[in-house]
Amino acid sequence: MPSDLCRTVTYSPAYTLVPTYECFNRCTYCNFRTNPGQSPWLSLTEAAEQLVSLRRQGVIEVLILSGEVAPGSRRRAGWFRHIYRLCELALEAGLLPHANVGPLSWAELTQLKQVNVSMGLMVEQVSPKLLETVHRHAPSKRPELRLQQLTWAGEMAIPFTTGLLLGLGETEADWVDSLMAIAAIHQRYGHIQEVILQPHSPGQRQIVSGNPLAEVDLLRAVTLAKVHLPASIALQIPPNLVSRSTLLACLDAGARDIGGISPVDEVNPDYAHPCPVSLGDAIAPAGWHLRRRLPVYSQYDSWLPPALAALVKTWRDRLLAAV
């Protein structure tokens, strides 16, 4: 049991399933995508076998993270059915799905709500000038499309995670604009659980090389987020993309979550996730206690369909018994 002097940092014990790496976007900084037709889709049989063993390994969340098939493609319907079935398989294994698969249609979002305890989509940045640079060949990165998705999620009462990607060539004023856009949508619907502040961290596979975001700038972003976002939104820092000292500085500045910790960071494969036990030991001397959480925050449990709410309650009871 942590002492009363300890402050809490949360994380979700997670495993990432990638339906496909193929993506019709070509963001210059991406270390995830392959060209359409070059990434075999994850076999449902293989996924089911993986999922069966995950609970014994302490996993709670299954992050369904996919490259995007273009909305107009004849393969889009099959891609969506594949994602939906992976979410069902996660639930059948007693795990909690969280899908982040790019912008969806209203009908697609409505369907996935039935098999996800929460969902996510990065805003990245609302500045349209990035469409002339890093997002020149990324149709689904249009800011209005991303903000529309946040709005639809609010209208559907979907607990949601979003975030900013920092260091793409935007300005501090752009960060404020992005934060204020997220805050405005949350103030209408109250559905945004977390905002991730993700520093650009160059990898070996990206199209155009770039510089990592300076850690002092990340700390500045945390400070701005505390000013411009409602206090009910948790700020999340990816612990594998920062030094230990910067992580502690971000926590002191107001970040309180480090996201889903999976064996591999599929988005940033050059940066290994830390072991939760060793990370917890490392931050404990500074007065921080690392605590497991679910991919849906407790204030949103009543929003869930009955079958999902019952599974979430089982997990909450299990975590409470483990304290």
Residue with tokens 């480090």: 258
Please tell me the least confidently modeled range out of 2-6, 12-16, 255-259.
2-6
- Residue 239 placed within a domain: yes
Asked whether the predicted pLDDT for residue 1 surpasses 50, the reply is no
- Residue 71 placed within a domain: yes
Record the tokens describing residue 147, joined without a space.
């903000």
pLDDT digits (tens, 9 = 90+) for 91-147: 999 999 999 999 999 999 999 999 999 999 999 999 999 999 999 999 999 999 999
Record the tokens describing residue 63, joined without a space.
């992050």
pTM of the full predicted structure? 0.96
pLDDT digits (tens, 9 = 90+) for 122-136: 999 999 999 999 999
- Residue 316 placed within a domain: no
Per-residue model confidence (pLDDT) at position 209: 82
Number of domains in the chain: 1
- Residue 320 placed within a domain: no
- Residue 236 placed within a domain: yes
How confident is the model over 185-196, as a mean pLDDT?
98
Q: Domain range spanning residue 269?
A: 7-301
Per-residue model confidence (pLDDT) at position 129: 96
Please indicate whether residue 37 or residue 93 has the higher confidence score (pLDDT): 93
Under DSSP, the state recorded for 204 is T
- Residue 25 placed within a domain: yes
Q: Which of 230, 224, 225, 175 is nearest to 200 (CA)?
A: 175
- Residue 180 placed within a domain: yes
Per-residue model confidence (pLDDT) at position 39: 84
Please state, in angstroms and rounded to a whole number, the distance separating the CA atoms of residues 255 and 313.
Answer: 26
What CATH number is associated with residue 79? Answer: 3.20.20.70
Say what percent of the chain tops pLDDT 70: 98
- Residue 118 placed within a domain: yes
pLDDT digits (tens, 9 = 90+) for 260-303: 999 999 999 999 999 999 999 999 999 999 999 999 999 999 99
Strands (DSSP E) found in 18-91 = 61-65
How confident is the model over 158-184, as a mean pLDDT?
98
Asked whether the predicted pLDDT for residue 4 surpasses 90, the reply is no
Per-residue model confidence (pLDDT) at position 5: 56
**pLDDT confidence of 3, banded at 50, 70, 90?**
very low
How confident is the model over 238-255, as a mean pLDDT?
97
How confident is the model over 155-170, as a mean pLDDT?
97
Please state, in angstroms and rounded to a whole number, the distance separating the CA atoms of residues 251 and 255.
Answer: 5
289: β partners? 8
